[in-house]
Amino acid sequence: MSAVYSQLSIEERRRIERWRYAKVPVREMARVLKRSKATIHREIKRNYFSDPCLPKCDGYYG
């Protein structure tokens, strides 16, 4: 039997974005969202923007 995974909703991504700016630990985000810490880390890594020409825009965008 294969496992069933659900994608993060847009609301969950917005919450992660707000929490990142508030410096909430990933462990706490995962606990509140009832998701794995790895899921949160992967989400942040996938949607992190970094550009040397626009350093003020660096960050996670949900």
| Whole-number pLDDT of residue 14 | 96
* Number of domains into which the chain is organized: 1
Q: What is the pTM of this model?
A: 0.84
Q: Could you tell me if 39 and 8 are in contact, meaning their C-beta atoms sit under 8 angstroms apart?
A: yes
Q: State the Cα angle at 34 between 57 and 50, rounded to 5°.
A: 15
Inside any domain, residue 34: yes
Inside any domain, residue 26: yes
| Whole-number pLDDT of residue 1 | 66
Which domain range does residue 39 map to? 10-60
Inside any domain, residue 3: no
Q: Which residues contact 23 (CB under 8 A, 6 or more apart)?
A: none
Inside any domain, residue 2: no
What pLDDT tens digit does each residue of the chain (62 aa) get?
Answer: 677 778 999 999 999 999 999 999 999 999 999 999 999 999 999 999 888 998 888 888 88
Inside any domain, residue 5: no
Give φ, ψ of 51 to 5 degrees.
Answer: -145, 125
